[in-house]
Copies of this chain bind each other. A is one copy, B any other.
Amino acid sequence: MLRAMEFGAAGLRILDQTRLPSRTEYRVLKTPGAVAAAIRRLAIRGAPAIGVAAAYGLALAVGPEMTLGRARSRLAAAAALLKSARPTAVNLAWAVERVLAEPQVAAAQDSAALSQALVAIAAAMEGEDRAFGQSIARHGARLLSGVRGVLTHCNTGALATAGPGTALAVILELWRQGERPAVFADETRPLLQGARLTSFELGAAGIPHQLLVDGAAAWLLAQGGIEAVIVGADRICRNGDVANKIGTYGLALAANAHGVPFYVAAPSSTFDPELARGDLIPIEQRAEAEVLEVGGRRQAPAGARAWNPAFDVTPAALVTAYITERGIVRCRGGRLVWPEAETPAGEVLS
């Protein structure tokens, strides 16, 4: 399996996703600032992956030789910096808060203990994310079993998480189980995560697939054959509204118009109990150049402007079900209904 990141003595080694698929380049990040910058420029991306990367970023703030006071002040500064790197995915702030709230962090009596605790917590979160991805994959594969065709958007595989992924992991798991749905992936402008990353992951897994421009998705659905649309999420509100990569909302409208189930696959860390509704989610606006240029080459005339929200919000009413590590979640009467007990992996409550 591809690994988006790996922590070691030298720092956090990441696969630079801005260069894929033409170049496989790794970068070693040695400071919280370098991690925040890599998150901002999407060298590492995907809601679960940036959560884990931020946890490792905190660990990079503290050296074992520092005074405890200095270590704690650097940790606080790193937390603020990392949380502000991207506003929409809740996993980022959630991961940072969670690390800071861990008892070993509060209890550390010297910087060596603090450093050790930070690394251990980040590693635990990485492991958890991997396990959650495997569970999402199994729950999702059971739910989607038998579909003749599936369409996805953006990249939600191993590159977007610390494990096998979310929505794309479901597709890979279907394949692993011997199912052979036709697989379609939106290219996902502006940054082409579908064409560059999802296609790369599907190809690496030997899964035949077809890319399409985002504008062609509704027409693909009109052809029949696509029996599930599955995407990831950057934040899911208390009422089930979903922030995800720009283009998701239009895709959900089109799926709805054709009676095709629209699934959102995400770990529970993507659910934000603090936010009541989707209109409260901060939507990141990114540089106009991402639209005006493609692959670093200017396409629009000089002087042209662009509107470039990185995410949109899909209302809960358009979501058939949420696939989580705890099982299948549905929205009923404006609130999310979770499986009653922790679901053993491989079992689906619905």
Interface of A toward B, CB cutoff 8 Å? 21-22, 184, 186-190, 192, 195-196, 199-200, 203, 208-220, 222, 246-251, 253-254, 257, 291-292, 294-295, 297-309, 312-313
A104–B195 Cα gap in the complex (Å)? 53
Please give the count of copies of this chain that the complex contains.
Answer: 2
Sample of 9 more A-B contacts, CB < 8 Å, known A187-B291, A210-B305, A213-B247: A22-B298, A190-B213, A199-B300, A211-B305, A215-B247, A219-B246, A219-B250, A250-B254, A253-B257
Contact indicator A307/B195 (Cβ below 8 Å): no
5 contacts between A and B (CB under 8 A): A189-B213, A195-B299, A213-B308, A215-B250, A222-B249
A247–B186 Cα gap in the complex (Å)? 12
A218–B312 Cα gap in the complex (Å)? 9
A294–B254 Cα gap in the complex (Å)? 25
A246–B308 Cα gap in the complex (Å)? 21
Could you say which residues of chain B place their CB within 8 Å of the CB of A304? Answer: 195, 199, 203, 209, 211
The one of B195, B214, B217 in contact with A292, judged by C-beta atoms closer than 8 angstroms, is: B195
Contact indicator A196/B299 (Cβ below 8 Å): yes
A195–B307 Cα gap in the complex (Å)? 12
| Minimum-distance CB pairs A-B, first 3 | A215-B247, A218-B250, A219-B312
